[in-house]
Amino acid sequence: MTAAVAQILQEFERLSDSERQELRHEIIERVPMSEDLTDDDFGSLASASFRELDKEEDRGA
């Protein structure tokens, strides 16, 4: 992972839940989906989604 990506992830962790949702929406709008996604890519996306859902459940959201 590059230093730039690590810094972005650190900043992401400081965002509120609503800011994170806004950022996800903006990234999705700007990054074209590719047909080149691998099974590992899909697995990583699914894992990240489930982690976020678990966090929301733990907070009682």
Are 23 and 12 within 8 A, CB to CB? yes
The overall average pLDDT reported for the chain is 86
Residue 33 has pLDDT above 80, yes or no: no
Q: Three-state SS for 46? A: helix
pTM of the model: 0.50
Are 18 and 25 within 8 A, CB to CB? no
Contacts of 20 (CB under 8 A, 6+ apart): 12
Please report which confidence band the pLDDT of residue 61 belongs to, taking 50, 70 and 90 as the band edges: low
Pull the structure tokens for residue 26: 């903006």
